[in-house]
Structure 1
């Protein structure tokens, strides 16, 4: 089966590096055998002479292994590494570590508030070394893990702040559309329509290869039939698709204000409306974002296409992660409703 546009760019090059150090001594313990305390100590001492990691905690359930390091100098660091070779991942998940490193560097250099500082990154392409990203931790607690009550005013304030963060991130632009690693390598797309259809087609190829039952012909038909709506997007903006996930929003437990955002692996260059927060935005979020993007004639169709993409992505991830639960059924119900709505629409 041919891709929607006949070609999907891929690359294994990565032009950006903070620091490239040999990791052969740390790669195997970190990924295959669990954390090696001495390996962590050697890594952090290269940055903070005299300091030591006093406690190491691994985040469960993450495809890209994440370790939290508490340092003797009071700092808290986060170390993210590549997944083990046997971990099944989607095609567009192959360069998530590179994506996050690139985006963190860009946003930190631009002085965007609430962005964790990147400290070191090494992205080798050949085993036995493994890629890793070391960054500062953001003080606070994830919105998904808060143990204190939030009032209606608290939630409105959080939404306004999140809207402002999305606006600040979206002010970053590029010369091409597409995945961050593709654009960084000069093989992005000239138009957003090309980039999105290629991205969507890649996801459906992964789903078909895993024998996931989905109405592929119907999805492709609607995507192509309504793709002219995507031509309204003419400037590639930086978009963090999953920025609205409660686990990615860090709150100050004392002020109940947003202290930062974490996880930029879903970033791409495209339409700001691609972010999940535009699926059902609150008035406070839109006020914080401060733009009339949703008033454009093509916006409802674009939003539906993006929502359809995210539903397929949720279903595919359930299969690739071998997860059990209600998320797949919920995503299928939403997808069915989305396709029914798309079938009633025409553009232009």
Structure 2
């Protein structure tokens, strides 16, 4: 949790909510979204995620999740500026894509009814999203509350076979996401590629005309430049020019990716993966979704963190739905993975400076070791390419 925010208490303090959340305004909003249903107790949920999360107990025994934008005291990276709108847009896009696929399948074969896909089981239902600051002073989203707990709290209790089963489900989810492609054919983050949502949760024309990048190298450069500038803004010590030079020299390898497929950057994060945590359930642990869907990108699926030293279970799930590969230019995929690993290390280092925590120094040191290692590997790659060019010349 960010050091600039007060730690969330183990038990909900209803009195504090009066100052942190406009409950009266929330009741009014819910009365329009869900007519006839009253808002009951509101419980603040502890989470390492940036948005403030609240469990809403409704009078019809339903539980909703209110995701409230971070307070202005929390310093955000450039890629985090549109967290809630990006998440709402991606959830809407996936849900709409699933609905269109079901309609198309039904029209082709009216007798057979397809089973729910993994995406329909793990993507939350968006009830409302609003970026109108006049409503509750901050952007917010309301979802139906899913089940499960973060994998980070359950992993220690899982057997080897159970963990492999969870990893397999994560791999299948990543593969299902990768079957979805950019609606505009452009590359980049969801917030750039897909139009904004309006306040009811449906797609509308963007307020600012943006359409992503025409190439994958341009989209990756946008991500990399964003985090490097974040670091430069607060004078984080990094080899900026060396990193920029590697991406410039390797742009042609990135441009081998020509079809922008959907990936979620932190799909492999244990704090983001939600798993059924009912200890009385005798069945295998079940993947129930992600806590946050905000870091969606259209491009190379390999940019997702789960492909950094993927487990056997993840690869089994990734390859289980189809025998053919959807990874382009597999010959140079390993080098692209190095570039993505470099990007993640820089993000981690800069984030520790933006929002320092108790163990930030230890985590930063580990990420700096990773960065040093990956930069050394990229240097070797460049040296091999240089030698090959000299021999051919």
Same fold? TM cut 0.5: yes
Q: Which residue of 1 aligns with 2:56?
A: 69
Q: Which residue of 2 aligns with 1:137?
A: 145
Residue of 337, 350, 375 corresponding to 1:316:
350
Q: Does 1:46 align with 2:63?
A: no
Partners of 2:45 and 2:23 in 1: CA distance: 12
Q: Which residue of 2 aligns with 1:276?
A: 305
Partners of 2:217 and 2:309 in 1: CA distance: 23
TM-score (norm 2): 0.76
Residue of 159, 184, 187 corresponding to 2:167:
159
Higher mean alpha-carbon deviation, 287-296 vs 180-189, is at 287-296
Q: Does 1:176 align with 2:212?
A: no
Q: Does 1:210 align with 2:218?
A: no
Shift of 1:69: 1.9
Partners of 2:223 and 2:149 in 1: CA distance: 33
Partners of 2:170 and 2:156 in 1: CA distance: 20
| CA distance 1:67–1:269, shift in 2 (3 Å) | same
Q: Please state whether the residue corresponding to 1:238 is helix, strand or coil.
A: strand
Higher mean alpha-carbon deviation, 161-170 vs 248-257, is at 248-257
Q: Which residue of 2 aligns with 1:299?
A: 333
Q: In structure 2, list runs of 5 or more residues that go unmatched.
A: 1-14, 99-118, 195-208, 389-393
Which of these two proteins has the greater Rg computed from alpha carbons?
A: 2
Q: Which residue of 2 aligns with 1:4?
A: none
Q: Please state whether the residue corresponding to 1:45 is helix, strand or coil.
A: helix
Q: Does 1:330 align with 2:366?
A: yes
Partners of 1:30 and 1:193 in 2: CA distance: 47
Q: Please state whether the residue corresponding to 2:71 is helix, strand or coil.
A: coil
| CA distance 1:46–1:126, shift in 2 (3 Å) | closer
* 1:30–1:36 Cα contact (<8 Å) kept: no
Partners of 1:32 and 1:179 in 2: CA distance: 35
Q: Which residue of 2 aligns with 1:262?
A: 291
Q: Which residue of 1 aligns with 2:218?
A: 194
Residue of 198, 203, 228 corresponding to 2:252:
228
Higher mean alpha-carbon deviation, 124-133 vs 47-56, is at 124-133
Q: Which residue of 2 aligns with 1:21?
A: none
Q: Which residue of 1 aligns with 2:91?
A: 104
| CA distance 1:32–1:85, shift in 2 (3 Å) | farther
* 1:308–1:338 Cα contact (<8 Å) kept: yes
| CA distance 1:147–1:340, shift in 2 (3 Å) | closer
Shift of 1:86: 3.4
Partners of 1:176 and 1:125 in 2: CA distance: 30
Which 4+ stretches in 1 moved above 6 angstroms?
29-32, 125-128
Q: Does 1:287 align with 2:304?
A: no
Shift of 1:32: 10
Shift of 1:54: 2.2
Q: Please state whether the residue corresponding to 2:238 is helix, strand or coil.
A: coil
Q: Please state whether the residue corresponding to 2:122 is helix, strand or coil.
A: coil
Q: Which residue of 1 aligns with 2:113?
A: none
Of Structure 1 and Structure 2, the greater helix share is in: 2
* 2:22–2:136 Cα contact (<8 Å) kept: no
* Per-residue CA distance 1:240-276 (angstroms, 9 max, x = gap): 0001111222222323121222311111111100000
Q: Over aligned residues, Cα RMSD in angstroms?
A: 2.4
* Per-residue CA distance 1:53-75 (angstroms, 9 max, x = gap): 22321435543222222333222
